[in-house]
Structure 1
């Protein structure tokens, strides 16, 4: 790994050559590179300029990890988190008329008050504060590198938006004259780490659960739960059922099954709202621990097996999932949640929720029995 240091007017700048091995997380071993013949067939149908961009990126970074008729993508290429060539030409007149089709993405935390200035500087920039990404789109890699360097100058206060726009034009002119300006040759800063760049934001719904931090209990299945985790567990159960019911409502099922799905949607929705309100009343913020996250993932996995089905096949599988899921929730309430709960009002909520779940279970069994006749 080579890191070159160059003197600047006011500071020492770390140069990161575009062909340097990335400091980003390595791609999964299962991510295979696309087949060269397949990639060639894809880009052969593209317009000339995106096709040229694709060939240039292949020459520099090798075969991409993803390829489709719409785009080809490299992950962790050089200092970039992602390099994308699109089968799309978007007219862009800054700093002079050209078309955008090449995008370079880095891991970078853009402060909220700098989002507007960066877009004002270059409308082809894309910012994802949640993931912690900053992307530049142009027709040349060097110009994307230039955009990212000037973005960084704006964020760090070295340049105003207008100064950056003026500098862009001047530096491109230097490049045309063969001067090899550093701002085009390489990034002049180190991209941020993924942990430092990501911004999860914060809940705005009153009583919403919060994510547990590193100091919170990992929550193994056998560990005693506190009231914050119990509340989050109850909310996770409700949300899983709401999502499944919403999907069921889109399917062509019998009217009784559709009515049942609607009953679950409304019932678990009311219970979820009550749980969040209860947390506010008793001064307990629901906390999403590892155990709660595991429960949410389980719900997603179950639903993933259902959504691909249609008609009577979906109805049978949905009712079977509701029987199994509601029985498991009753067992969890009896054997874990009620035994661990400390607050009396929370215990009352769990007891009432158990009665609702038991009713849902019996209804699912009845519908399941009728459907099997």
Structure 2
């Protein structure tokens, strides 16, 4: 029996590896890996209380939220680290430092939840996010602050929408609680960056 399940796991791993081969980036790879995981096997734990590694404990929409949230969170931290050194406006620098701290903490919490549910998260931000970061990094010092602030306003509006949807619709209690707990912080970020934007005019 053990041999059979080991062979099945190897087959699934081979399939997921092949499906990832065509994936464009880390986010796509995570989505592909989660898509081939069996959602029916995680409910059963062995006698030692260890959950089986071949299944996933959440449905595909919940797994997609976890991947999207991790992708956005990593991108927020990466771009904020650039802003900490490149921004000229002290309020923008302070906001960036807050992004590193708050999104870094949320990313760690999400990773811990994903680990218990056997959800594969991206190892790095998606190609789209990396392109946005590269484009922002190329801005001159005088243009950077405005571009970063605009990106943060737009990004936080989208993130709030995603987290509101998750807080309402996630079937997994832990992911739902994570979305509900994180939402006020993201809304606070939006209010703060909008105030900074107003002050820059």
Note whether the superposition's TM-score is higher than 0.5.
Answer: yes
Q: List runs of 5+ in structure 1 lacking aligned partners.
A: 1-194, 199-208, 218-223
Residue number in structure 1 paired with 2:63: 228
Superposition CA RMSD, Å: 2.7
In the comparison of the two structures, how many residue pairs are matched? Answer: 153
Deviation for aligned residue 1:300: 1.8
The 3-state SS of whatever aligns with 1:213 is helix
Deviation for aligned residue 1:331: 1.2
Matched, 1:267 2:97: no
The 3 A distance-change label for structure 1 pair 215 and 334 is closer
The 3 A distance-change label for structure 1 pair 278 and 307 is same
Q: Which has the larger radius of gyration?
A: 1
Give deviations 1:249-285, integer Å, cap 9, x for gaps. Answer: 22041111101100001110000001112234xx312
Residue number in structure 2 paired with 1:325: 155
Residue number in structure 1 paired with 2:119: 286
Structure 1 segments (4+ residues) deviating >6 Å: none
Matched, 1:367 2:196: yes
TM-score (norm 1): 0.37
Give deviations 1:101-140, integer Å, cap 9, x for gaps. Answer: xxxxxxxxxxxxxxxxxxxxxxxxxxxxxxxxxxxxxxxx
1:115-130 paired onto structure 2 within 5 Å: none
1:205-224 paired onto structure 2 within 5 Å: 212-213=32-33, 216=36
Q: Which structure shows the bigger proportion of residues in helix conformation?
A: 2
Q: Do the aligned residues in 2 keep the contact of 1:228 with 1:284 (CA within 8 Å)?
A: no
Q: Do the aligned residues in 1 keep the contact of 2:30 with 2:120 (CA within 8 Å)?
A: yes
Greater relative contact order (Cα < 8 A, sep 6+): 2
Q: List runs of 5+ in structure 2 lacking aligned partners.
A: 1-17, 22-28, 38-58
Distance 1:339 1:212 in 2: 25
Deviation for aligned residue 1:313: 0.9
The 3-state SS of whatever aligns with 1:287 is coil
Distance 1:287 1:340 in 2: 20
Q: Which structure shows the bigger proportion of residues in strand conformation?
A: 1
Match of 2:138 among 294, 305, 308: 308
Distance 2:104 2:35 in 1: 31
1:1-373 paired onto structure 2 within 5 Å: 212-213=32-33, 216=36, 225-280=60-115, 283-288=116-121, 296-335=126-165, 337-372=166-201
The 3 A distance-change label for structure 1 pair 296 and 251 is same
Deviation for aligned residue 1:214: 8.8
Give deviations 1:42-64, integer Å, cap 9, x for gaps. Answer: xxxxxxxxxxxxxxxxxxxxxxx
TM-score (norm 2): 0.67
The 3-state SS of whatever aligns with 2:33 is coil
Distance 1:214 1:251 in 2: 37
Residue number in structure 1 paired with 2:43: none
The 3-state SS of whatever aligns with 2:117 is coil
Distance 2:87 2:35 in 1: 47
Q: Do the aligned residues in 1 keep the contact of 2:88 with 2:141 (CA within 8 Å)?
A: yes
Give deviations 1:161-198, integer Å, cap 9, x for gaps. Answer: xxxxxxxxxxxxxxxxxxxxxxxxxxxxxxxxxx7xx9
Distance 2:138 2:130 in 1: 13
Q: Do the aligned residues in 1 keep the contact of 2:167 with 2:177 (CA within 8 Å)?
A: no
